[in-house]
Amino acid sequence: MSSILRRSLRLLELLSSHPEGRTLSELAAEIDVPLSATHRLLTELAECGYVEKDPRHGDYTMSMQAVSLGLRYLSATGITDIAQPALNRLARASGELVRLAIVDGDQLIFVAKAQGATQGILYDPEMGHTVTLSCSAAGFAWMASVSDEEAMRLVSKQGFGAPSDYGAAAPTNMKTLMTHVHASRKRGWSMTVDIFAAGMNSMATVVRGRDQQVAALLIIAGPMSRLTEERMTTLAPALLKTAEELSRASSVSPMFRIRARDEPSTSRSG
């Protein structure tokens, strides 16, 4: 990949996390490129319609054209038509937020959701974000489906999140993390208690696609005042049943078929 293309994509990645916009100097510092070169990249992206410049303040923002690419892709894969009814049913049954994260190489990305809570705290993070494997039920469930060596490789590549960004019980080292992974493997599904976010709990299991590869993760998340450990245990059969339903339907959507990572090993240890 050329340095120009790499830097251009990096600019789009940065702008996707800053809808309020970023200045030229901020973006140049982020990608460690001189102001003049950064300005040229942004100008070309703007000419192609992927970046906009605020004429009043000079800040750069991602355009809706860039956003529409992802939305059109999701629509074309049929993921909403296939998964949404099942997510809606599970959300109604659990009364909590239900999400689907797709395996994309060595990472998980939220692509669909259904909100089951009708009152009280509504937990609803942004879609399109990459899942932090070391601090999430989705990450624990995914790592439990591969070998310990592969699980540690995935986390080592992504890194541990900053403790201040997650719940008080978030793992900060590999030993603690693998304890959660082993428990998830033994249980058949994962759970987090005050880990992914302060005061929030979650549970997850894998959705298998073509050739039984893990193609996605199905998650239920909510405030720990409602989604207690006891409640998660009660909801486990419904979670597993919905995951199986999605697995059976996975052959219909190309997203489930082409996004799954080719796993080098499915052996278990620990």
Give the per-residue pLDDT at 252: 61
Task: Say which CATH number the domain at 250 has.
Answer: 3.30.450.40
Q: Examine the domain organization and report whether 111 and 227 are in the same domain.
A: yes
pLDDT score of 18: 85
HEC letters along 87-124 = HHHHHHHHCCEEEEEEEECCEEEEEEEEECCCCCCCCC
Examine the domain organization and report whether 121 and 16 are in the same domain. no
Q: What is the pLDDT of residue 91?
A: 95
Largest CA distance in the chain: 58
Amino acid 127: pLDDT: 55
Is 263 domain-assigned?
Answer: no
In terms of domains, do 136 and 179 share one?
Answer: yes
Element spanning 223, H or E: strand 214-223
94: in domain: yes
User: What local confidence, expressed as pLDDT, does residue 66 receive?
Assistant: 77
Same domain as 158, residue 137: yes
Flag whether the pTM goes above 0.85.
no
Does 55 share its domain with 84? no
Low-confidence ranges of the chain (pLDDT < 70): 1-2, 71, 73-80, 118-129, 251-270
**Is 86 in the same domain as 218?**
yes
Residues 128, 38, single domain; the answer is: no
The two tokens of residue 198 are: 């302060």
- Compute the distance between CA of residue 198 and CA of residue 178 in angstroms, rounded to an integer: 21
What's the DSSP call for residue 130? Answer: B
User: Where would I find the H helices in 159-228?
Assistant: 174-187
Q: 87 and 48, same structural domain?
A: no
pLDDT at 136: 93
Asked which of 16, 32, 67 is the last residue of a domain, the reply is: 67
Q: Are residues 43 and 89 in the same domain?
A: no
Q: Which residue range is the domain that position 250 belongs to?
A: 78-258
Q: Report the distance separating Cα 263 and Cα 26, nearest Å.
A: 38
- pLDDT of 263 reads 47
Residue pair 253/79 in contact by the 8 Å Cβ criterion: yes
214 with 84, same domain? yes
238 phi and psi, to 5 degrees? Answer: -65, -40
Q: Which of 29, 48, 67 is the last residue of a domain?
A: 67
Q: Domain check: are 17 and 56 in the same one?
A: yes
Query: Total structural domains in the chain?
Result: 2
The residue among 102, 56, 46 whose CA lies nearest residue 79 is 102
